[in-house]
A and B are shown apart, each in its own frame.
Chain A
Amino acid sequence: MKFKLVYQVAFSLLIARWKQTLVAAIGVTISITMFVTVLSFMSGLNDMLDGLITNRTAHVRIYKEIQISDKQPADYLNPQGHNFVSSIKPKNELLGINNSKTIIESIKKDDRVLGVAPKINAQVFYNVGAVDLTGAIFGIDPVEENRLFKFSDYVTAGNYIDLKNIPNSIVLGKGVATKMMANVGDVIQITTSKGDQVALRVVGVFQSGIQDLDNVQSYCSLSTTQKILGQPSNYITDIQVKLKDILWAPEVAKEYRKIYELNAVDIQTANSQFETGSSVRTLISYAVGITLLLVAGFGIYNILNMMIYEKMDSIAILKAVGFSGKDVNKIFISIALSIGIFGGIMGLLMGFGLSSLIDQIPFNTESLPTIKTYPINYNPRFYLIGGTFAIVTTYFAGFFPSRKASGIDPVIIIRGK
């Protein structure tokens, strides 16, 4: 049978009961709206929480660990036997990575790597009057650090780039700054672990959202840190690597450990608690999403089912004048699909609208300086799933009752009168 006729009949049936059609379409719209909104919102929140860690953490961190040698001289002399050596101490050596420049150059050539940022870890004391506060200074390359780890997002006062432009400058952690009552432009005193006193100019205040960090941590440029520690300009303690895909981290870390004979730790191992939290949150949002879709699916099914049973008479008449069961099936599936497509598109649009609205709601929290409104993830995948689901559900919601209706003899309906 010609499709045109099927659509004409379907359209007439739809229009004749437009209120009912509208209710059915609204049912689809609401469920798809809620699905898209809830998933966008939940996934936005999830990404924000994940971002707390992933934005600031290197995917692979290469560093040198002070540890005792695996093999003692006795093991080389007598490789077969058991050697008992007690009270082994680590060798006195620098924490700095040897040959760091060459290593960085070679890592940069790796296709999987998005960027490399060198870092120096320095233990210091902040001098506040007569009191010394323990603290740590990270020597960083401000430009690279910002490109890879969004450093500027966490600098709440001052400008991060001044680290590079102003010699002997420091970006203080928020907690440290409060304790020292230091503002941008002030000069503070620190004492290194070797006992040297250094004066540094505060060019910014840093707030990571993790209070324990903000209370001890500060940032200086690489050269300033090297100067504080009295180390040469090739002194680097950490190489932070950001990969194109976070999932490659364990494999890459393993590889680097072998190549460079240094310690390399991947983000998954270093933050296993975060991994668990993140996967549980993802699981929750999917569970909510699936529940929403299931409930919506049954709603759509119910409405269409009702609609088709109400149209039983029309089905009987159509069959009596020569429409086959297949035609009836096609007509009702077209009806169901039109409702699904119309309701689905409306749902996607409204879902987008509602998420944008939530995106405007102010959300200020002490720990997240960069977040001003509720986070929303506008992932097209949610829209794709929602749209596909609307069409598939309405198809089946139309298919089952219409198949039942198309199968029976029209007489059964006509005689029932």
Chain B
Amino acid sequence: MNKVVLEAKEITKYFHDPVTVKILDKVSFQLEQSEFVSVIGRSGCGKSTLLYILSTMDTDYEGDLLIDGISMRDKKEGELAIVRNEKIGFVFQFHYLLNEFSVLRNVMLPGLKLGQFSEKEIEHRAYEKLKILGIENEALKDPNQLSGGQKQRVAIARALINDPLLIMGDEPTGNLDKKNSEIVFNIFQELAEEYKQTLLIVTHDNEFAARTTRIIEMEDGHIK
């Protein structure tokens, strides 16, 4: 059995605005290393909310979250930032690149923050990641000079820069056309198979989900 990368223990979450609604109800599951998991469900079933909690960005929940065997429950904001930086790579529906920086710089940013390598090494690693994604030629451009598919690939490269334990995606293909979705999916698959990368992807593209190794289906705040 593989090492458990992430464990959710009875995670419950309420939305208070405008009325209190229970959006997640005691969600528990485990994620093992090199699993390629997709989370599916209808709109509003809480899958994005769950993902934000799992990514430590949302701290307003009940229950416990263990990443790499360590509880995230009582960690401070600064410590959570370090966990995100070191262990989690995140790909959003919208690419969320910083337009103020070049593509290369965007990819390097989490690496610079981690400070594990020298700036030169990080640049080298960033080029490597961009090469994996086939966009090394766009490295010096600004993000807004790229197409949607290319931007999303840059975002994936950024998620990979610190060799994270886990990559999370919030509908990473949601904004892409068929062809680009295919490219992004193939990249995920390649990462999972060749690099043994653990992936947790929220999607409502059932076709996409069907090709992953495990599907978590959600309904009304529960895992079905």
A: which residues have CB within 8 A of B? 1-2, 5, 8-9, 12-13, 15-17, 313-314, 316-327, 407, 409-411, 414-415, 417
| Separation of A313 and B82 alpha carbons in the complex (Å) | 20
Q: How many residues of B contact A (CB 8 A)?
A: 33
User: Most B CB atoms within 10 A — which of A321, A410, A411, A414?
Assistant: A321
Q: Tell whether, in the assembled complex, residue B115 and residue A323 are in contact, meaning their CB atoms are under 8 Å apart.
A: no
Partner of B60, one of A321, A409, A415, A417: A409
Q: For B81, B82, B99, which residue has the most chain A Cβ atoms within 10 angstroms?
A: B81
Top 4 A-B pairs ranked by shortest CB distance?
Answer: A322-B85, A324-B81, A16-B100, A324-B78
Q: Is the CB of A2 within 8 A of B81?
A: no
Q: Are A1 and B96 in contact (CB under 8 A)?
A: no
Across-interface contacts of B101 in A (CB, < 8 A): 12
8 A-B pairs besides A314-B100, A321-B109, A411-B57 with CB distance below 8 A are: A321-B84, A321-B110, A322-B81, A322-B162, A326-B78, A327-B113, A409-B58, A414-B57
Residues of A within 8 A of B99 (CB): 16
A319 and B112 in contact, given A13-B100, A410-B57 (Cβ under 8 angstroms): no
Chain B residues in the interface with A (C-beta under 8 A): 48, 52, 55, 57-60, 77-78, 80-82, 84-86, 90, 92, 94, 96-101, 105, 109-110, 112-115, 158, 162
> How distant is A407 from chain B, measured CB to nearest CB, in Å?
8
The CA-CA distance from A111 to B168 in the complex, in Å, is: 81
CA distance A12 to B105 in the complex (A): 10
In the assembled complex, the CB of B48 is this many whole angstroms from the nearest CB of chain A, namely: 8
CA distance A66 to B80 in the complex (A): 89
Q: A12 vs B78: C-alpha distance in the bound complex, in angstroms? A: 23
- Least Cβ–Cβ distance between A312 and chain B, in angstroms: 12
By a CB distance below 8 angstroms, the chain B residues around A411 are 52, 57-58
Residues of B within 8 A of A410 (CB): 57
The interface residues of chain B lying within 8 Å CB-to-CB of A314 are 98, 100
Q: Is the CB of A2 within 8 A of B115?
A: yes
Q: Which residues of A contact B100 (CB under 8 A)?
A: 12-13, 15-17, 314
| CB atoms of A323 and B94 under 8 A apart | no
Distance between A310 CB and nearest chain B CB, rounded to angstroms: 12
Closest-CB distance, A246 to chain B (whole angstroms) = 57
Residue of A5, A9, A17, A417 near B94 (CB, 8 A) is A417
Residues of B within 8 A of A321 (CB): 84-85, 90, 109-110, 113, 158
CB within 8 Å: A-B pair count = 82
Binding site secondary structure of chain A: helix
Contact across chains for B57 and A319 when beta carbons are under 8 A apart: yes
Does B77 contact A325, Cβ atoms closer than 8 Å? yes
The answer for the CA separation of A17 and B77 in the assembled complex, in Å, is 29
- Chain A residues with CB below 8 A from B86, complex form: 322
CB distance from B122 to the nearest CB of A (A): 11
Contacts of B80 in A (CB 8 A): 324
* Least CB distance, B118 to chain A, in whole angstroms: 11
Provided the pairs A12-B101, A409-B57, A410-B57 are in contact, do residues A322 and B114 lie with their beta carbons within 8 angstroms?
Answer: yes
Which of A8, A15, A320, A414 has the most B CB atoms < 10 Å from its CB? A320
- How close is B170's CB to chain A, nearest CB, in angstroms? 8
Pull 30 A–B residue pairs with CB atoms less than 8 Å apart, ordered by A: A1-B115, A2-B115, A12-B98, A12-B100, A12-B101, A15-B100, A16-B100, A313-B96, A314-B100, A317-B96, A317-B98, A320-B55, A320-B84, A320-B90, A320-B92, A320-B96, A321-B84, A321-B85, A321-B158, A322-B110, A324-B78, A325-B78, A325-B81, A326-B78, A409-B57, A411-B57, A414-B52, A414-B57, A414-B92, A414-B96
Which residue, of B86, B92, B96, B97, has the highest number of chain A Cβ atoms within 10 A? Answer: B96
Roughly how many angstroms separate A324 CA and B84 CA in the complex, as a whole number?
Answer: 9
Q: Are A322 and B82 touching (Cβ within 8 A)?
A: yes
Q: How far is the CB of A50 from chain B (nearest CB, A)?
A: 54
Q: What are the residues of chain A within 8 A of B109 when measuring CB–CB?
A: 9, 318, 321
* Bound-state Cα–Cα, A318 to B81, Å: 10
Residue of B nearest to A313 (CB): B96
A391 to nearest B CB, angstroms? 24
Contacts of A325 in B (CB 8 A): 77-78, 81
Chain A positions within 8 Å of B158 at CB level:
321
Q: How far is the CB of B161 from chain A (nearest CB, A)?
A: 9
A319 and B92 in contact (CB under 8 A), knowing A5-B113, A16-B100, A410-B57? no
A residues less than 8 Å from B113 (CB atoms):
1, 5, 321-323, 327
Q: Shortest Cβ distance from A404 into chain B, in angstroms?
A: 14
Query: Once bound together, how far apart are the Cα atoms of A213 and B139, in whole Å?
Result: 83
Using Cβ atoms and an 8 Å threshold, which residues of chain B touch A326? 78
Contacts of B59 in A (CB 8 A): 409
CA distance A153 to B48 in the complex (A): 83
Q: How far is the CA of A319 from the CA of B109 in the complex (A)?
A: 11
Instruction: List B contacts of A2 (CB < 8 A).
Output: 112, 115
CA distance A389 to B85 in the complex (A): 37
Question: Whole-angstrom distance between the alpha carbons of A323 and B85 in the complex?
Answer: 7
List B contacts of A319 (CB < 8 A): 57, 81, 84
Smallest Cβ-Cβ distance to B112: which chain A residue: A5
Residue of B48, B82, B92, B114 touching A324 (CB-CB under 8 A):
B82
Closest to B83 in A: A322
